[in-house]
Chain A
Amino acid sequence: METDILKVEGLSKNFGGVAAIVRVHFSLQKGELLGIIGPNGSGKTTLVNLLTGFVRPDSGKVIYRGKNIAGHMPYKIAELGIARTFQMVKPFYQLSAFKNLIIPLYSTRVKKLRGGKYGDRDDVAIDLLEDVGFERDSSVPYKVASSLPHGYLKRLELARCLALRPDLLILDELFSGMSMSEVASTLPIIEKLNSEGLSIIMVEHRLKELFRIANRVIALNFGSKIADGPPRDMMENQAVKAAYLGSEEEG
């Protein structure tokens, strides 16, 4: 479809005998918010790594805006506008929160999008932090990253992605480790980004929250796609239930 921003065809990856991803197909329309769910070990993070270039696929295509990016270097893929969060949050601990955003703001992509100048990176960083929920007129953005609590670090991770001005945002278990209130305050931010036209893929374990905002969800189990449809269909789907909870035959 022409409105597809991302199309994955026949993607497969083996790690020395373990089939992590097995012939996965799916597509993502521009402006869609796609959820990816599945039990632990189903290959969700591997899929994200395959999409963003951190792992080279054994076969298959990842077509982003008409170009196959499978196997490209991660920075080239980021250059094209795909930003991702990392499950294990590792900020630059000795830098302050807003300085953490320097890296993407230093890239040529951002330079091009800002019309050839870097602009005042520090101001841009502070603005970005406000967008993800750091209180503006407080000292929090200036605090060194090692002193920030986990929820803030996760939001910093989100800001790092947004600094890149991505067209496709991939969130790998952003909500893991966040408290209920932190999730509640981050959810509207994501919704807002999506409503402004940003295509988003969310890998999540917290199904309730995900189903509230996702347009469509795909489910993985043992590396294969077992379901693909709107959230309410997922809740009824036998295969999905079996994957998470085990089917009735297994004791």
Chain B
Amino acid sequence: MLPSILIYGLVNSVNLALIAMGFSLTFGISGVANFAYGGFYILSGLLVWMLLNYLKFPFLLAIIVTIGVVGLLGFVTYWIILLRVRGIPLSEVIATFALGVGILELFRWLGFVTYEFTLPYFKKGMVMIAGVPVDYQRLFMIGIGLALVLFLYFFTHYTRVGLAFRGIAQNERTAISLGIKSDLTAALSLALGSAMTAVAAIVILPLGIISINQGYEVLLIAVAVGIVGGLESVPGILVASLILGYAQVITGIYFKPEWMMVVYLAAIVLVLAIKPSGLFGKFKELEERV
């Protein structure tokens, strides 16, 4: 029992972390709201599906094209929509939220709702770890997930562009006066975050079917992880994912599987009541307190 909890918990946690990262990059780290996140997630999955099934692209090409397209979509979203409402956080939220809902409901209306919409595994087969069967796809997901977390950490702490991302969130005027082109930086952040979303979708969606409602769930997950861990902190994302991931798996095994959802709600409420800025969140504390 224990090994299976450990392993499935880890799988689940990385799953959550992958989902949360793209959102945290744009919203937590750069301060740019992207509530179209869930829409982009499902869009990525369906785009790969369409490229594979309608245009008969080879798998690798479909993936690369999708990541590129979604990244570009993020960039364009900034210039067309967010640019005009930048600085009014609530308008940013509403506008991008509307975009996400629009995308999701459009696909629902177009009929992408049956079980035939699945993505292929990278490599079929499984391996036994400590007596627990784990398929390659999940291992792959863990690998990519951890790699992305590391990448995110080093990118935002050690590269010029990454530091610029953080700069515009903390104090935009100062960043501009230091020569950082804040609009371009924000757009890049949105693009990169969207691209990461696409990666997450491509790796995770094969594990099940592409369901439109998952688009909303994804947003919920990203938000829950962000709130619990502290939106701007990469270690926070990791720790929060681990906590939520394991809590979910344990709840699923010892209580009822349906209650897994409630874990999110409980975690959010608990964190907000005790430490609103999240476990690792720092500079938000000032703002949120008052």
Contacts and interface: CB of A to CB of B under 8 A. Distances in A.
Interface of A: 16, 54-56, 74
Contacts of A74: 290
Closest 6 CB pairs of A and B: A16-B282, A54-B290, A16-B283, A55-B286, A74-B290, A56-B289
Contacts of A56: 289
Interface string B248-290: 0000000000000000000000000000000000110010011
6 contacts: A16-B282, A16-B283, A54-B290, A55-B286, A56-B289, A74-B290
Interface of B: 282-283, 286, 289-290
A101 to B, nearest CB: 21
A74 B286 CA distance: 13
Contacts of A16: 282-283
Nearest to A49: B286
Contacts of B283: 16
Contacts of B289: 56
Nearest to A74: B290
Nearest to B290: A54
A55 B290 CA distance: 9
A142 to B, nearest CB: 30
A185 to B, nearest CB: 33
Nearest to A54: B290
Contacts of B282: 16
A16 B286 CA distance: 12
Contacts of A55: 286
A54 B286 CA distance: 8
Nearest to B286: A55
A155 to B, nearest CB: 25
Nearest to B285: A56
Nearest to B289: A56
B110 to A, nearest CB: 45
Nearest to A75: B290
Contacts of B286: 55
A115 B64 CA distance: 73
Contacts of B290: 54, 74
A56 B286 CA distance: 9
A40 to B, nearest CB: 15
A16 B170 CA distance: 13
Contacts of A54: 290
A210 to B, nearest CB: 28
A221 to B, nearest CB: 23
